[in-house]
Amino acid sequence: MATQTNLSPNDSYPRRVLIVRVGAMGDVLHALPAAAALRALHPDWRIDWAIEPRWRPLLQADGGVSEPFERGPAMPVVDRTYLAATRAWRQHPLSRTTMRDIASLRRELLAERFDLCVDMQGSIRSAVIGKMSGAERLAGPAEPREGPARWLYSQRIREHAIHIVEQGCELLGGAVGEVLNPAKVALPIDEVAEETSDVLLERTLRHGEAFVIIAPTAGWGAKEWPAERYGRVAAELARNGYLILVNGASTNDSSAEAVVEASGGSAIAVPCSLAELIALTRRAKLVIAGDTGPLHLAAALETPVVGLFGPTDPSRNGPYGTRSRVLRHATSQRDHSRRSETEQGLMQITSDEVIVAALELLEIE
């Protein structure tokens, strides 16, 4: 029978731990402070992570080596990553490539003989990956996002905290029998991405000019503030002497281009990889975004943020660990139904409100 209690102090600690949190970007970032806390307490433990390939730069730089941006005694949070291409598997569930990839992942995980696997995602697919690991214990949330996942867990942890970062500490801490408090995360550095970002900024920045990043997209349409309003914010901040970069997922990204057009050319669209976005965000003066990965990336890097919230609750999902201004209208209601139209409460946030919040943060030394 699965237990809902932590390990007792007399129980032997697991020394080979696998974390499963395959995505998405913001969710991986929310889980990292718990893993960083565990690493700080037990630097000699093996801590590995199963993740979607596109989010791997959050855990390890290209080549598989984690290196803190601030070089020094800080240790990498993760020893090794295992690539779980669940999105591709879902698109082609019966293909030979999918079957081969799953079998290969299973062999790699079994070879490590993990003492403990902690499913920090709470989905059926993440729980199945955890089960595939062959770990002596598989722990997960008592109330997972997808209910049937709980039946695969040998240990179920109840979470009481409000914010998802603190919930992650309860979950991972409960699984290992420790009290974990969110720790600062030193994200890995990709030398090529750092050089690329430096070249970009040398070409676009005037001497001594600071820049702001706008990230206009989100996981679903209801969380996306209108592009024309982002454009008005960009134009006003440009008049105040800031360079405005608009994050684009690819070249000719329609959302980024719409913000640039609405800004009257005051902003510049910057398509970049995740590693390049990490490098740029480290250097930014401010990030403005909805409840989306780039907002939580900025928070992890302690870059100030203006967060625009609608159907998601900032008390649970808001920026954590950095200076911030969070805007949410009183009429917004929590709703994760992934509607395509901008949530009506989010529509009540004006460009002027965002400009005021942004300038307040930019003027703080």
Domain ranges in the chain? 16-176, 191-363
Contact predicate 306/288, CB 8 Å: yes
Residue 1 predicted with pLDDT over 50:
no
Contact predicate 237/358, CB 8 Å: yes
Contacts of 363 (CB under 8 A, 6+ apart): none
Looking at the chain, list the stretches that DSSP marks H as alpha helix, in order from N- to C-terminal side: 25-41, 86-91, 96-112, 124-132, 164-176, 191-204, 227-239, 254-262, 274-283, 293-300, 314-317, 344-347, 351-363
Share of the chain residues as helix, strand and coil, in percent rounded to the nearest 5: 40, 15, 40
Task: Read off the tokens for 15.
Answer: 């020394």
Residue given tokens 């209801």 in the structure block: 222
Q: Is the dihedral of CA 176, 179, 182, 183 positive or negative?
A: negative
Residue 5 predicted with pLDDT over 90:
no
User: What is residue 306's predicted lDDT score, i.e. its pLDDT?
Assistant: 98
Looking at 155-207, list the stretches that DSSP marks H as alpha helix, in order from N- to C-terminal side: 164-176, 191-204
pTM of the model as a whole:
0.92
SS3 210: coil
pLDDT band at 175 (very low <50, low <70, confident <90, very high): very high
Mean pLDDT for the stretch of residues 241-254: 91
Mean pLDDT for the stretch of residues 252-278: 95
Contacts of 5 (CB under 8 A, 6+ apart): none
Q: Considering only residues 364 and 230, tell me which one the structure prediction assigns the higher pLDDT.
A: 230
The domain over range 16-176 is classified in CATH as 3.20.20.450: no
pLDDT digits (tens, 9 = 90+) for 102-135: 999 999 999 999 999 999 999 999 999 999 999 9
Give percent of the chain with pLDDT exceeding 70. Answer: 92
User: What is residue 12's predicted lDDT score, i.e. its pLDDT?
Assistant: 58
Report the chain's mean pLDDT, rounded to a whole number: 91
pLDDT digits (tens, 9 = 90+) for 281-340: 999 999 999 999 999 999 999 999 999 999 999 999 999 999 999 999 999 999 988 899
pLDDT band at 13 (very low <50, low <70, confident <90, very high): low
Mean pLDDT for the stretch of residues 248-254: 86
User: What is residue 365's predicted lDDT score, i.e. its pLDDT?
Assistant: 52
Query: Which superfamily, per CATH, for 191-363?
Result: Glycogen Phosphorylase B; (3.40.50.2000)
Mean pLDDT for the stretch of residues 352-362: 97
- Rounded Cα distance, 164 and 149, in Å: 19
Mean pLDDT for the stretch of residues 75-90: 92
- What is the number of helices (H) and of strands (E) in the chain? 13, 12
Which has the closest alpha carbon to 17: 4, 35, 32, 5? 35
SS3 320: coil
Contact predicate 270/248, CB 8 Å: yes
Give percent of the chain with pLDDT exceeding 90. Answer: 87
Residue 19 predicted with pLDDT over 70:
yes
Identical topology for domains 16-176 and 191-363: yes
Longest dimension (CA), the chain: 65
pLDDT digits (tens, 9 = 90+) for 134-151: 999 999 999 999 999 999
